Chains A and B, each alone.
Chain A
């Protein structure tokens, strides 16, 4: 059974600072998603990472995937208040008929 662990679960940071959210998973998978969720809202897809060494960037967010280490990171550069949200990683599990297994989420609060 695949387990997905995110850390930290809560993150309070100041504007302008850098930080990294980690997503570890327990068994082999070649597809990982990062989602953003604002309070009371649905999930918005941020990144899809498909292969070892994949790196994607959008604005102040950069995601990477190391399939050998079973680790993905979401790096935040020079945080701004608008990035305050909950971030989820989700890993595909179960071969060709796989489903998504979500981490518990990281609640990010960016303070001025």
Chain B
């Protein structure tokens, strides 16, 4: 099906473990984004990518790593998970720069770090 998907939808891990959250979109959108949502903070941008092999930091990048070898995929890795990274993570994509293009959001991944 066309659209934007995230996997897994739910993940429980332990402090210090590496975790990778996957994001896949079928629209061939050039831009992709990772946000985290925490109570009292709304959504905050972690990283974004303007195209394959081009990534940049957002508001809260510390503790996260991203890559984008293919246009349709934008994985987010927590190299050594901490409890403060317990959150709901949303991936989004847009056909062009967010200044002029709407973003479309995936279903989210709920991550719990014990």
Binding site for B on A (CB under 8 A): 4, 31, 33, 41-43, 45, 48, 88, 90, 92, 94-100, 102-105
Q: Interface residues of B toward A: which range?
A: 20 to 34
Given contacts A90-B43, A92-B98, A94-B99, 17 further A-B contacts (CB under 8 A): A31-B99, A42-B105, A45-B104, A48-B102, A88-B42, A88-B43, A95-B99, A96-B97, A98-B99, A99-B33, A99-B58, A99-B98, A100-B103, A102-B42, A102-B43, A104-B42, A105-B42
Report if B29 contacts A (CB, 8 A): no
B51-81: which residues lie under 8 A (CB-CB) from chain A?
A: 58
Closest to A105 in B: B42
Distance between B7 CB and nearest chain A CB, rounded to angstroms: 14
> Which B residues are CB-close (under 8 A) to A100?
43, 45, 98, 103
B contacts with A: majority SS: loop
| CB-contact partner of A99 in B41, B42, B48, B107, under 8 A | B48
Distance between B27 CB and nearest chain A CB, rounded to angstroms: 15
Distance between B98 CB and nearest chain A CB, rounded to angstroms: 5
Distance between B55 CB and nearest chain A CB, rounded to angstroms: 13
4 shortest A-B CB distances, which residue pairs?
A: A102-B42, A98-B99, A102-B43, A104-B42
Complex CA–CA separation, A43 to B93 (angstroms)? 13
> Which A residues are CB-close (under 8 A) to B43?
43, 88, 90, 100, 102
> Which A residues are CB-close (under 8 A) to B97?
96-98
